[in-house]
């Protein structure tokens, strides 16, 4: 579901309007058609199986890895790195973004630093971070935190600055303090944009954890994918990619659920 559709759903639910979500069966049907077409092409032998194994073989490989414990041995470190880096980067993004949006002096200090650092590919920082923090967990969590920081910072600043000026003037004319305006007008207005930034940050976290694990790790989904690719174990490689896809879906669902709870709580 696109961000715009999701935002309409959130506000429609808050106003008690009918559900605007597209029919679930269409989503399920689209995924089923894709998987069936993939299975058919693979079994027809159009491409060698070593390059395109059928999805049923990927599911069997996932089951085998789960039964042997190999799946969890690689999922657990990746999850810990993603959660740690995402939490640190998002918290810093919300805190500094709020500061830059409500204080002109803070904006003058923070904005140029963000503008300088933002264009740098974050994975390019990993060798430097390894020099500073060593090759252990801290360096991987740090590079994920840096990647998660920027989308959350930018969305927080954009959301808070995009608050309706008429509402802010009305609150001011009624004697609301600056903190009350921030709390009652700016934050509720900014929440959908901030959560959109958080969802972008989860995607960035997935990208960076795989990249970091391919460079400097002996466990993790990124390491598993790289190792399977080197040995031409395509089924195992695709099983690793499927796990990443599940990570992405789960994180999106959790953030959407949390967004609904927060939006209802502040209204």
255 exposed, middle or buried (CB, 10 Å; 0-12, 13-18, 19+)?
middle
**Res. 21: pLDDT tops 70:** no
The maximal CA–CA distance of the chain, rounded, in angstroms, is 74
Least confident range from 139-143, 175-179, 198-202, 254-258: namely 175-179
Give me the pLDDT at residue 267, please. 64
Nearest to 217 by CA among 102, 145, 140, 107: 140
For 90-134, the pLDDT digits (tens) are 999 999 999 999 999 999 999 999 999 999 998 889 889 989 998
Under 8 Å CB-to-CB from 252, ≥6 apart: which residues? 199, 202
The SS3 of residue 233 is coil
Phi, psi of 69 (to 5 degrees): 85, -5
Q: Residue 203 belongs to what H/E stretch?
A: helix 187-215
* Mean pLDDT, rounded, for 187-200: 92
DSSP state of 125: G
Instruction: Give the CA count within 13 Å in the CB-facing half-sphere of 69.
Output: 0
**Res. 81: pLDDT tops 90:** yes
Give me the pLDDT at residue 170, please. 86
Q: How far apart are CA 229 and CA 233, in angstroms?
A: 6
**Res. 152: pLDDT tops 60:** yes
* Mean pLDDT, rounded, for 178-203: 90
Q: What is the DSSP string of 215-256?
A: HS-SSSHHHHHHHHHHTT-HHHHHHHHHHHHHHHHHHHHHHH
Better pLDDT: 64 or 14: 64
Q: How far apart are CA 44 and CA 28, in angstroms?
A: 24
pLDDT exceeding 70 applies to what percent of the chain? 91
Instruction: Give the CA count within 13 Å in the CB-facing half-sphere of 92.
Output: 18
Give me the pLDDT at residue 32, please. 92
Under 8 Å CB-to-CB from 19, ≥6 apart: which residues? 9, 12, 13
**Res. 34: pLDDT tops 50:** yes
**What is the rounded end-to-end Cα distance, in angstroms, of the chain?**
24
**Dihedral through CA 48, CA 54, CA 59, CA 63, nearest 10?**
-30
The CA-based angle 179-180-181, given to 5 degrees, is: 90
Q: How far apart are CA 97 and CA 155, in angstroms?
A: 8
pTM: 0.83
DSSP state of 182: I
Provide the 10 A C-beta neighbour count for residue 45: 9
123 exposed, middle or buried (CB, 10 Å; 0-12, 13-18, 19+)?
middle
* Mean pLDDT, rounded, for 52-61: 93
150 exposed, middle or buried (CB, 10 Å; 0-12, 13-18, 19+)?
buried
């Amino acid at each position: 579901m696109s961000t715009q559709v999701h935002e309409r759903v959130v506000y429609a639910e808050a106003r008690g309007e009918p559900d605007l979500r597209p029919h679930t069966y269409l989503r399920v049907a689209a995924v089923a058609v894709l998987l069936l077409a993939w299975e058919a092409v693979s079994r027809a032998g159009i491409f060698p199986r070593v390059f395109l194994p059928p999805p049923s073989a990927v599911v069997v490989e996932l089951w085998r890895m789960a039964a042997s414990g190999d799946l969890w041995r690689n999922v657990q470190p990746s999850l810990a790195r993603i959660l740690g880096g995402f939490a640190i980067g998002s918290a810093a993004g919300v805190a500094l973004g709020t500061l830059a949006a409500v204080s002109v002096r803070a904006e003058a200090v923070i904005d140029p630093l963000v503008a300088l650092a933002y264009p740098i590919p974050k994975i390019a920082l990993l060798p430097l971070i390894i020099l500073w923090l060593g090759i252990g967990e801290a360096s991987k969590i740090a590079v994920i935190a840096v990647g998660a920081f920027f989308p959350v910072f930018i969305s927080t600043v954009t959301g808070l600055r995009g608050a309706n000026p008429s509402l802010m003037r009305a609150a001011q004319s009624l004697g609301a303090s600056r903190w009350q305006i921030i709390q009652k007008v700016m934050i509720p207005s900014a929440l959908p944009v901030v959560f959109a930034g958080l969802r972008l940050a989860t995607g960035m976290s997935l990208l960076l954890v795989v990249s970091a694990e391919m460079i400097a790790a002996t466990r993790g989904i990124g390491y598993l994918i790289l190792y399977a690719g080197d040995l031409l174990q395509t089924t195992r490689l695709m099983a690793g990619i499927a796990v990443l896809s599940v990570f992405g879906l789960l994180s999106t669902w959790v953030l959407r659920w949390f967004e609904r709870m927060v939006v209802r709580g502040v209204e």
